[in-house]
Amino acid sequence: MKNLTLSVVATAASMLALNAVAQVNPAATAADPNAFLNQFESTFGKSEGYRRSGAKGICAMGEFVATPDARTLSTASAFSGSPVPVIVRFSVGGANPKAPDNAKSQRNMALQFNLPGGEQWQMGNISAPVFGASSPQQFFDLIASRQPDPATKQADPAKVKAFNEANPEVLLIGKHFASQPVPASFGSVNYWGVHAYGFVNARGAKQFGKWIFEPVGGQQGLSDDEAKEKGPAFLFDDLRQRVKDGKVAFNFNLELAQAGDKIDSATVPLPEGRKKVNLGMLKITSVSEDGGGPCLTIAYNPLVMPKGVEASADPMLPARAAPYAVGLGRRLVEGAKQQ
Ligand code: HEM
């Protein structure tokens, strides 16, 4: 494991050497993970050591216990019914490690289930039912369209308008955040997986579905006045207090797809009213007192799944794996940090 970490660092070091002179190449495409990371940095800026997305975050530990219903859907070892330890990372969306906690913006909950026999299940869930792009190239072009002009330090409004008009689905996620209050806590907002996955049971039957982690105590938002009052940095202490009080837990629910439902797009939710199965409960048991903790060096690659859970044909899933690894490499070399 140590050797693996060292080789990741060494590879990343050589990538960084190249990156020091890398400019955004107008011919670059989403197929090149280094180009993706360069574009993230050009558009959103770069904070040394921080994740290029979800920069402001905190590690926590949790425990997941599955329901018997989960076992009828999938043989995954996560669903044995015995408690499974989970390495959790809560974060605020974006590349800014000082992003305000009191804005109507994205919150994330990334999970690594540590399963028997060294198996792992990683996922990065967001506080919206849809993502901001449905294909890797669309996402790449979206962030390229927002790249600040060196003279004005602002995105070119004409480019933004043209991109939005040609790709209206990229605006859905922002509309969701605008329609919701500022979350009162990392522990009081829904987190969606946004991709479909297949759940395979002991008879070999595969059921596709999309999951949501829903707070057991319900969603809780702040009024505009309350949000102003709270200020830009309250989420970490709020989480520590709520977890000490034993109040942070989520139902892991799966919405079941039916024949004909679109299951290969992160911008199209399943139709309203699909049957929802409770797969179990994730309870958050402790929160890091500082910027350290085991989540710091995990990239939460959504293709790390246990046997019994399979990726759908959503093209965003394979497109995430390499940029996450490159992103991890870059921040390890810089000295990984998150607060
Ligand atoms: C091709 C598409 C995507 C690219 C290139 C991309 C890129 C990245 C990168 C570079 C990171 C930081 C990784 C690290 O340093 O460890 C990240 C984090 C994250 N991404 Fe994406 N992303 C993509 C799609 C998505 C989608 C569809 C979702 C929706 C669920 C998503 C949710 C997240 C979350 C929740 C995190 C933070 C995880 C954490 O706390 O470590 N991303 N992304």
Q: Please state, in angstroms and as integers, the Cα–Cα distance from residue 277 to each residue in 49, 175, 216, 280, following that order.
A: 39, 27, 15, 9
CB 52 within 8 A of CB 44: yes
Task: Indicate whether 13 belongs to any domain.
Answer: no
What CATH code is carried by the domain that includes residue 309? 2.40.180.10
d(CA 330, ligand 1 centre) in Å: 14
What's the gap in Å between 225 CA and the centre of ligand 1?
A: 31
Is 185 within the bounds of a domain? yes
Burial status of residue 169 (CB atoms within 10 A of its CB: 0-12, 13-18, 19 or more): middle
Q: How far is residue 183's CA from residue 227's CA, in Å, rounded to a whole number?
A: 9
Q: How far is the CA of 196 from the centre of ligand 1 (A)?
A: 16
- For residue 307, give its domain range: 56-315
Q: How many CB atoms lie within 10 A of CB 4?
A: 8
The structure's pTM equals 0.93
Residue 45 in domain: no
The number of folded domains in the chain is 1
Say if 89 falls within a structural domain: yes
pLDDT by 10s per residue, the chain, length 339? 333 333 333 333 333 333 333 455 667 889 999 999 999 999 999 999 999 999 999 999 999 999 999 999 999 999 999 999 999 999 999 999 999 999 999 999 999 999 999 999 999 999 999 999 999 999 999 999 999 999 999 999 999 999 999 999 999 999 999 999 999 999 999 999 999 999 999 999 999 999 999 999 999 999 999 999 999 999 999 999 999 999 999 999 999 999 999 999 999 999 999 999 999 999 999 999 999 999 999 999 999 999 999 999 999 999 999 999 999 999 999 999 998
Flag whether 267 is in a domain.
yes
In a domain, 323, yes or no: no
Domain membership flag for residue 270:
yes
Q: Ligand 1 pocket: which residues have CB below 6 Å?
A: 36, 51-54, 57, 89, 91, 108, 110, 124-126, 131, 136, 139, 194, 266, 299-300, 316, 319-320, 323-324, 327-328, 331
